[in-house]
Amino acid sequence: MRNVLTLNAGALKTVSQVAVLEELERQVGKATWEIFDVISGTSAGGINAAMLASGYRASELADLYMDPANRIFRWRWRIWRSLFKRKPFVRTIEKYLPRRRTLDDTKVPVILFAQNIGDGINYAFSSMDARPISIARAILRTTSVPPFLEPEEGVWLDPGMGSLFNPTEATLRFLKGRRVDLQSLRVVNLESPLDPHRSSGDRLQRGGLMVRVNHAVETVFADLSRRAHAGIHYYFPGVDYLSCSFSNNRYFDPFKFKDLAGLYEEARQAAPDQVSNIRRFLEV
C-alpha cells in the first residue's frame, strides 16, 4: 500500500474531481484504481470514490454527472420529509452499482464514511471490514443530507452534517487502526470548488433563499477546509500529503444541473496544472 486518494464532499461540484482524474488517467495511461492503492471519500466524493474503486474510469464517471437522464436531484412536494426525491437518486446509483455488488467487489480498497444519528459517531465502511455491505448502500449512507435527502434507513447521515469532518484525517485514522505504516503513504486529497466570494455581491443581493444559504455554507466550509489541512500536518507529522484545491470562476448552485457543463469545462482547463503537481508528488 503506497498511494492513497481522498475525495471531499461538494454535491455536484465534485465533477471538478472527475475532470482532474480524467486528465491524470489520460497522461499516465492508467485507470485511477491502477494509480492509487486506496480510495476514500465522503458524500458526493464518496460516489466518485466508489465508482473509481469499482473499476470505472473517470471519463465514464463524467457521464454520470453529464447525462441528462441522471437527474439526481428532483424536487418533491412533501418538503417536510426532504427537498428532493430519493428514488431518482437511488435509481441512478444502482444503474452503475447494483445492490448485489458489495465493497468486496472493488478493484482496490474503498473507504466511505457516514454518521449514525443514534450515537453521533462517524463510521467507516470498507472492503477491509469483516462484513462489507453493498456498495450502493454505503453510498446512500454517506450521501444522506437532511433536509435535501432523507437519512438512509432512518439513521445514517453525511458525516459532515454533525461536525467538522475531514475525509483525509478520517482515512488516516482508519488505516492507522489497521496497523498500516502511515509514513510509507503518499496521500492526495481532491477538494471541491469552494469560493464564497463568487456568490456574493449583486448575485447575493438579488438571489433567493438557496443563494444565500449556499453563500453562508461556502463561507463556513472554506474556513474549515483551511483548518483541516493544518490538522493533517499536526496529527500526522511525516505523512506525505498533497491537497489540490480548485476555484470556480462563476457562481454555481451545487444542487442544480444548470451550469454543470460550464463548471466541468472550467475544471478540465485547470486540470493539467493540478495533474502536473500530482504526477510530481506520486512520481508517475
> What is the predicted pLDDT for the residue at 200?
46
Q: What is the pTM of this model?
A: 0.84
Q: Which residues, including other chains, have CB under 8 Å from residue 267's CB and lie 6 or more apart?
A: 15, 16, 18, 19, 20, 193, 246, 248
* Type and span of the H or E element at 114: strand 110-116
- Cell 496529527 -> residue: 235
> What is the predicted pLDDT for the residue at 132?
75
> What is the predicted pLDDT for the residue at 196?
43
DSSP H helices in the chain? 15-28, 32-35, 44-53, 58-66, 87-96, 135-142, 167-177, 202-206, 209-235, 260-282
Residue 5 grid cell: 486518494
Tell me the mean pLDDT per 10 residues along the chain, length 284.
89 87 96 97 92 94 74 53 67 85 92 88 86 86 74 70 74 92 93 56 49 59 63 82 73 59 84 94 93
> What is the predicted pLDDT for the residue at 17?
93
> Is the Cβ–Cβ distance between 47 and 242 less than 8 Å?
no
